[in-house]
């Protein structure tokens, strides 16, 4: 392996890791001081619905309205009765069920099965068919017994869903639901109006993006409210961007910065995710997520105007890039990657090394800008020196001289990811980027993404290359494709060609409201008075 020649890296100092325990404690206290008061809104069912086989729908199951919601208290149900309530849009919250027995004679418990679903196919879930690689406990299915009626019961667990299925498993008599209320919660429980200048489809996309973010804004920004209901650094970066042009809840972003910082490891590396409950720290570290921290801090500082927090976290941000140097080798491969999860995208076939190098360069550029804003001119010069050194190596070692494409890994793989991060890092200039991105659409056997996380960065890459119209077309095609399939929040993965990947071994574990998918709002908000594209 080539030896890395030593390149100067700014000594931003201040992180004294002997006192890291104290630092963690201090950051945790600051995170706790920023816990938001959640906003509640009671939502009633919009209609009673029934499932329908539909080859066009995701997993072949669609839904159609059956009765008006106002008919609910008129329905009497015995054992075997099944109801589906449609709440009209995706929400996050708690169910409150009020019931009585028609003749008032309640001499034994009522036994119910409840199933909350984001998408219609989940309403046909059967536990015995579950094939998932993650815990089945994530499935939003409950069995409850109610001893005394008439009365109300509030379910203790929080659900993310649009639909609720109720199966009556046993009842002493004809059971009547007087009401089923959904006590919805979010740190920002409203939808900002879509900008006037957007087309009808773009407005729908904008609103679905805001709804996705709204439902991910709980006591921290979560990756998704169904599971794992957790703060993830990569998702937070994108949520913070959209938040800055929509809800502008900067306190919630800052709570998340402190939560992540409070969980740095022994070396000072930021975790990929953090739990809100005290005393539990993740074992998951994704170096390319840690490298996003400088951009997150910079963009947050600029949007919120909070210079103090930029000062506070500048050393930690620089430290993430400093730690990443341990992985860098001059042949553009990564050293000692054993215990880390390099992410970039879900695709198992993706060779990630070139993307990782570019993400490192992306971090250096953001650090240089942070240093400039904080009047640390020497640091800035050193970040940029380091940047030029590695940029030159990445171009020399990974760029195909004939095609101008960035290749990755031993097999010199061509992927959209390498070109996208090539543009975002400045390894490719705008003209090179335009040509490389155009080739991704034409060449066979390119590894492309079907994941909105990487596609967000493709939107950014188009804009950097001066091809905003391509970004808007992709938004209408890809995110609009989910809308055409009935989505009102955006999904974790989606393939418009009809073969959306099933992650985690079972479609019921995939989320239909996923933080990293909300980003079209960012571009649509900025679209301003740009000419309408056909
Ligand atoms: C999954 C989730 C999460 C993402 C990580 C990398 O667990 O999709 O949102 O950030 O992967």
Whether residue 5 lies inside any domain: the answer is no
Pocket test for ligand 1, best of 138, 235, 238 (most atoms within 8 A of CB): 235
Q: In the prediction, which pLDDT does 441 show? A: 94
Pick from 162, 186, 210: which residue ends a domain? 186
Pocket test for ligand 1, best of 134, 223, 224, 239 (most atoms within 8 A of CB): 223
Q: How far is CA 526 from CA 115, 194, 470, 529, in A?
A: 39, 12, 14, 9
Pick from 151, 171, 186: which residue ends a domain? 186
Q: Are 178 and 242 contained in the same domain? A: no
> Would you tell me how many other CB atoms lie within 10 Å of the CB of residue 61?
17
Q: Are 111 and 252 contained in the same domain? A: no
Whether residue 381 lies inside any domain: the answer is yes
Separation CA 518–CA 14 (nearest Å): 36
CATH code for the domain of 30: 1.50.10.10
Q: In the prediction, which pLDDT does 500 show? A: 75
Pick from 186, 220, 248: which residue ends a domain? 186
Whether residue 259 lies inside any domain: the answer is yes
Q: Which protein residue has the closest C-alpha to ligand 1 atom 3?
A: 223
Q: Are 233 and 161 contained in the same domain? A: no
DSSP state of 476: I
Walk along the chain (534 residues) and give the pLDDT tens digit of each residue: 444 445 677 777 555 655 788 889 999 999 999 999 999 999 999 999 999 999 888 889 999 999 999 999 999 989 999 999 999 999 999 999 999 999 999 999 999 999 999 999 999 999 999 999 999 999 999 999 999 999 999 999 999 999 999 999 999 999 999 999 999 999 999 999 999 999 999 999 999 999 999 999 999 999 999 999 999 999 999 999 999 999 999 999 999 999 999 999 988 999 999 999 988 999 999 999 999 999 999 999 999 999 999 999 999 999 999 999 999 999 999 997 778 999 999 999 999 999 999 999 999 999 999 999 999 999 999 999 999 999 999 999 999 999 999 999 999 999 999 999 999 999 999 999 999 999 999 999 999 988 999 999 999 999 999 999 999 999 999 999 999 999 999 999 999 887 777 889 999 999 999 999 999 999 999 886 444 433
Q: Which protein residue has the closest C-alpha to ligand 1 atom 5?
A: 232
CATH code for the domain of 122: 2.60.120.260
Whether residue 8 lies inside any domain: the answer is no
| Closest ligand 1 atom, residue 511 Cα | 8
Domain carrying residue 118: 39-186
Q: Would you call 374 exposed, middle or buried from its count of C-beta atoms within 10 A (0-12, 13-18, 19+)?
A: middle
Q: Which protein residue has the closest C-alpha to ligand 1 atom 6?
A: 343
Beta bridge partners of 62: 52
Domains in the chain, number: 2
| Closest ligand 1 atom, residue 233 Cα | 10
- Using a 6 Å cutoff on CB, does residue 239 contact ligand 1? no
Q: Are 165 and 273 contained in the same domain? A: no
How far is the centre of ligand 1, averaged over its atoms, from the C-alpha of 494 (Å)? 15
Q: Which of 128, 138, 76 is nearest to 102 (CA)?
A: 76
| Closest ligand 1 atom, residue 273 Cα | 10
Give the contacts of 307 (CB within 8 A, at least 6 positions apart). Answer: 301, 373, 374
How far is the centre of ligand 1, averaged over its atoms, from the C-alpha of 39 (Å)? 26
Q: Are 86 and 218 contained in the same domain? A: no
Q: Are 45 and 89 contained in the same domain? A: yes
Q: Are 21 and 62 contained in the same domain? A: no
Whether residue 368 lies inside any domain: the answer is yes
Q: Which protein residue has the closest C-alpha to ligand 1 atom 9?
A: 223
How far is the centre of ligand 1, averaged over its atoms, from the C-alpha of 363 (Å)? 20
Q: Which protein residue has the closest C-alpha to ligand 1 atom 2?
A: 223
Whether residue 1 lies inside any domain: the answer is no
How far is the centre of ligand 1, averaged over its atoms, from the C-alpha of 176 (Å)? 41
How far is the centre of ligand 1, averaged over its atoms, from the C-alpha of 248 (Å)? 24
Whether residue 407 lies inside any domain: the answer is yes
Kindly tell me the sign of the dihedral angle through the C-alpha atoms of 145, 148, 154, 160: positive
- Using a 6 Å cutoff on CB, does residue 223 contact ligand 1? yes
Strands 82-101 and 39-43: unpaired
Q: Are 155 and 269 contained in the same domain? A: no
Q: Are 131 and 209 contained in the same domain? A: no
Q: SS3 sequence, 310-362?
A: HHHHHHHHHHHHHHHHHHECCCCCECCCCCCCCCCCCCCCCCCHHHHHHHHHH
How far is the centre of ligand 1, averaged over its atoms, from the C-alpha of 13 (Å)? 32
Q: Are 220 and 342 contained in the same domain? A: yes
How far is the centre of ligand 1, averaged over its atoms, from the C-alpha of 223 (Å)? 7
In degrees, to the nearest 5, what angle opens at C-alpha 440 toward C-alphas 396 and 199? 130
- Using a 6 Å cutoff on CB, does residue 343 contact ligand 1? yes
Whether residue 10 lies inside any domain: the answer is no
Q: Are 206 and 73 contained in the same domain? A: no
Q: Are 389 and 276 contained in the same domain? A: yes
- Using a 6 Å cutoff on CB, does residue 234 contact ligand 1? yes
How far is the centre of ligand 1, averaged over its atoms, from the C-alpha of 232 (Å)? 7
Separation CA 42–CA 304 (nearest Å): 31
Q: In the prediction, which pLDDT does 528 show? A: 64
């Amino acid at each position: 392996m080539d030896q890395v020649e030593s390149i100067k890296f700014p000594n931003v100092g201040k992180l004294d890791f002997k006192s890291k325990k104290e630092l963690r404690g201090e950051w945790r206290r600051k995170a706790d001081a920023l816990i938001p008061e959640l906003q509640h809104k009671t939502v009633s069912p919009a209609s009673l619905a029934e499932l329908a086989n539909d080859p066009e729908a995701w997993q072949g199951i669609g839904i159609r309205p059956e009765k008006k919601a106002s008919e609910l208290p008129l329905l009497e149900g015995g054992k075997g009765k099944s109801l589906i309530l449609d709440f009209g849009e995706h929400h996050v919250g708690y169910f409150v069920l009020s019931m009585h027995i028609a003749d008032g004679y309640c001499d034994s418990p009522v036994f119910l099965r409840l199933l909350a679903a984001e998408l219609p196919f989940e309403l046909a879930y059967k536990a015995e068919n579950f094939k998932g690689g993650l815990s089945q406990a994530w499935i939003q299915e409950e069995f409850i017994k109610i001893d005394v009626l008439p009365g109300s019961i509030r379910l203790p667990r929080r659900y993310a869903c649009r639909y609720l299925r109720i199966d009556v498993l046993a009842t002493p008599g004809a059971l009547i639901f007087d009401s089923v209320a959904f006590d919805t919660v979010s740190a920002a429980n409203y939808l900002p109006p879509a900008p006037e200048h957007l087309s009808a489809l773009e407005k729908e996309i904008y609103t679905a993006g805001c709804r996705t973010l709204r439902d991910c804004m709980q006591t921290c920004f979560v990756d998704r409210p169904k599971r794992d209901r957790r703060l993830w650094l990569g998702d937070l970066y994108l949520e913070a961007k959209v938040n800055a042009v929509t809800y502008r809840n900067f306190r919630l972003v800052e709570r998340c910065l402190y939560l992540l910082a409070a969980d740095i490891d022994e070396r000072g590396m930021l975790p990929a995710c953090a739990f809100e409950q005290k005393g539990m720290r993740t074992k998951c570290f994704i170096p390319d997520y840690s490298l996003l921290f400088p951009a997150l801090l910079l963009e947050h500082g600029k949007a919120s105007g909070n210079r103090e927090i930029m000062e506070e976290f500048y050393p930690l941000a620089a430290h993430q890039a400093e730690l990443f140097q341990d992985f860098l080798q001059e042949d553009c491969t990564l050293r000692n990657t054993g215990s880390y999860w390099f992410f970039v995208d879900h695709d198992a076939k993706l060779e990630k090394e070139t993307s990782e190098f570019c993400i490192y360069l992306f971090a250096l550029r953001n650090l240089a800008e942070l240093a400039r804003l904080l009047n640390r001119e020497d640091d800035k010069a050193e970040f940029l020196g380091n940047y030029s050194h590695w940029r030159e190596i990445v171009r020399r070692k990974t760029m195909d001289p004939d095609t101008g494409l960035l290749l990755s890994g031993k097999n010199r793989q061509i992927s959209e990811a390498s070109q996208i991060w090539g543009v975002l890092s400045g390894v490719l200039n705008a003209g090179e980027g335009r040509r490389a991105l155009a080739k991704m659409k034409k060449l066979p056997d390119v590894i492309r993404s079907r994941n909105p996380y990487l596609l967000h960065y493709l939107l950014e890459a188009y804009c950097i290359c001066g091809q905003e119209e391509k970004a808007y077309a992709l938004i209408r095609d890809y995110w609009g494709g989910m809308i055409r399939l009935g989505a009102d929040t955006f999904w974790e993965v989606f393939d418009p060609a009809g073969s959306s990947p099933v992650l985690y071994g079972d479609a019921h574990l995939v989320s239909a409201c996923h933080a990293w998918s909300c980003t079209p709002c960012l571009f649509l908000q900025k679209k301003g008075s740009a000419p309408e594209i056909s």
